[in-house]
Amino acid sequence: MQQEIIINDIYIPQLDNFARTQIYYGGSSSGKSWFLSQRVVIDLLAGNRNYLICRQVARTIRSSVFMQVKRVIDELELSKVFKINKDDATITCLANGFMAFFAGLDDVEKLKSIVPAKGVITDIWIEEATETERNDVMDLYKRQRGGEEAIKKRMTLSFNPILQSHWIYKEFFESRAWTDDQKEFMSDDLSILKTTYKDNRFLTTQDIRDLESEKDKYRYNVYTLGNWGILGHVIFTNWVVVDIDDPNDKYYLPEAQRTNHRNGGDFGYSVDPSAVWQSHYDAKRKRIYLFGELYQKGLTNDLLAIEVIKMIGDDYIVWDSAEPKSIAELRKYGVNAGEAAKGKDSVLFGYQWLQQQEIVIHKNCVNAKMEISTAHWLEDAGGNALLKPSGKNDHLIAAGRYAHEMDMQDNWLTS
């Protein structure tokens, strides 16, 4: 028997929202992604809309938004009504043939080949839209062509507002003189809805306590209050995000020339992700080409080993020496793993060394971009920067410090 769909009150009016561009943003645990997954299922059942659901990187789709839509179907006890194909990441409503496709913006060939069994792509939803580049999103608008005039097309972006300098803020918020106390904007062309944990009635007391007890000012502002992030004491300004694989880019570096590898890893599991940093180092130019990353929770060491070998083969990789048992297990599973030397003040020194390099980040390394762009120094009571990183969301940065540890040895003696 089909279960009743229960939606947080603030989102119910959005079921009838047909603005051309729709933005759902705000704090963590506000329920925005869950609602949008519910809307996908409702629209597929209604039988007049096809979805293309994207994130920047294809390999993040199956473990995130694809599974979320599947969970909605399962909780509504509608599994017999939908065909869920994990191999090609599609969900089809068997009652009418309308479909949801899941793809990464880095998987251009798949994007080109997406054609629904009936109708056209009416809806594009980009989850974690702050991972994307403007041109990639603008290109997606062009994929919503044809179909019935009466069926309105929608482009939906959902995200946490990590930085006010982001292109999404400049494109959709800046000209409207948006302020943090605004909750909603609506026109035929654009709708904006800001939500926070207070709009989600399904959170536990512990969920709420965790969000409200956040001590880091930046994270409290962004992830608890849902405000656009503003960083005063940023650590890194020496980075750029590019497509390293594009021959027309000035930072183009063919794969065959990425030979001076630097690999580092930071352990995680349930709360923090396991993180792997893969780079090429041009010592003459003091330039780091960061072209690969792993950033995933829930990996036991045997599964982590599989992902690491898939990523770097038998290359040497330096891990956090605080977990010698885990390093030993990775070696048992075939990873060419070593321990970081670390030493006195190694964290601060590592950050300062990275500040002296030019860091070129491949556009698909979205988590590295997030960490490096939001890394900031702690402040004293007077708002002055301390020479101490915040220590929040620094898993790939830690892996990068381990990866480049030998490059630092000329002017750093471990103790």
Residue 234 resides in a domain: no
pLDDT tens profile 390-400: 888 899 999 99
Please tell me the total count of domains within the chain: 2
Please give the pLDDT value at position 384: 79
Range of 93's domain?
13-224
- Does 9 score more than 90 pLDDT? yes
CATH number of residue 206's parent domain: 3.40.50.300
DSSP state of 207: H
Q: Which of 224, 256, 280 is the last residue of a domain?
A: 224
In percent, the amount of the chain with pLDDT more than 90 equals 79
pTM (predicted TM-score): 0.84
Of 52, 413, 157, 273, residue with least CA distance to 166: 157
115 shares a domain with 91: yes
Per-residue pLDDT tens for 39-51? 999 999 999 899 9
Among 224, 250, 277, give the residue marking a domain's end: 224
Mean pLDDT value of segment 55-84: 93
Question: In this structure, what CATH number is given to the domain that contains residue 374?
Answer: 3.30.420.280
> Is residue 409 pLDDT above 90, yes or no?
no
Residue 303 lies in a domain: yes
Separation CA 91–CA 69 (nearest Å)? 9
Based on the domain organization, do 359 and 279 belong to the same domain?
Answer: yes
pLDDT at 238: 94
Could you give the C-alpha distances from 6 to 35, 208, 255, 344, in angstroms and in order?
Answer: 9, 20, 49, 53
Does any domain span residue 256? yes
Q: In the prediction, which pLDDT does 412 show?
A: 45
319 and 185 part of one domain: no
**Domain check: are 196 and 272 in the same one?**
no
- Would the pLDDT of 2 be above 60? yes
Q: Work out whether the CA dihedral 244, 245, 249, 252 comes out positive or negative.
A: positive
Residue 350 lies in a domain: yes
User: How confident is the model over 240-283, as pLDDT tens digits?
Assistant: 999 999 999 999 999 999 999 999 999 999 889 999 999 999 99
- 339-348 tens-digit pLDDT: 999 878 889 9
